[in-house]
Amino acid sequence: MSPAVLVGRIGAEDLIPDPRETALRLGCPADTVASADACLKELREAVLCRYAACRLPVSHPAEGMTDLGFGVLPSFDLVKNLGDCREAFLLAVTLGAGVDRLLLRLSHLSPARHFITDALASAMAEAACDMAEAAVKGSLSCRPRYSPGYGDLPLSVQEPLLARLDASRRIGVTLGDALLMSPSKSITAIIGILP
């Protein structure tokens, strides 16, 4: 019997984009981010944040390989990140399709508002991932999350990871031919649980 998938929601009002993360994405000083309040208000109205996670056993069948039960993942960096973890969480988080629709609309109406809202949405997606990770791991000590596309972990890992979480049905996250997720403000990660 495969481990159950936990599904949850995070209220848009609870998602606070880190001002430093937002400023970094905007390429401006952190104290100027406050002027983005109108964009943030509009973004919050578009967000439907959901996540899916499950806890899986970890093994390393060969050098540079990690088996999480849904396939063997080729990555020396992931092996190093997981260290001596015997279990890990799979996590997928999304801000929802409403954010993509908002960004598309803004791209036609106002390049400046689009740029600011896109940066805010990226920072908000990171905040959502932090909150979902905290909800999933509870009091467990874990390694830093590691996502497909980091280091030598290929983006192709997205497909079996999302399939294992049944992310398309559970939280509406799909994968395109170029291995990019839709909705675009979505994040997947593997989080090693420390022994």
Distance of alpha carbon 50 from alpha carbon 91, whole angstroms: 11
Confidence at residue 58, expressed as pLDDT on a 0 to 100 scale: 96
In the predicted structure, residue 2 carries a pLDDT above the cut 60: no
Does the pLDDT value for residue 73 go beyond 80? yes
Average pLDDT for residues 38-61, to the nearest whole number?
94
pLDDT-wise least confident of 10-14, 74-78, 107-111, 166-170: 10-14
For the chain, strand residue ranges (E) read 6-10, 49-57, 65-67, 72-74, 87-94, 174-175, 181-182, 186-193
pLDDT digits (tens, 9 = 90+) for 147-173: 999 999 999 999 999 999 999 999 999
Instruction: Write the CA distances from 170 to 93, 94, 151, integer angstroms.
Output: 11, 11, 28
Length of the chain: 195
pLDDT of residue 35: 57
Q: What average pLDDT is seen over the chain?
A: 90
Cβ neighbourhood burial of 155 (10 Å; 0-12, 13-18, 19+): middle
Give the C-alpha distances (Å, rounded to integers) separating 184 from 11, 15, 22, 56, 81.
19, 17, 17, 26, 26
For the stretch 82-121, pLDDT in tens is 989 999 999 999 999 999 999 999 999 988 889 989 999 9
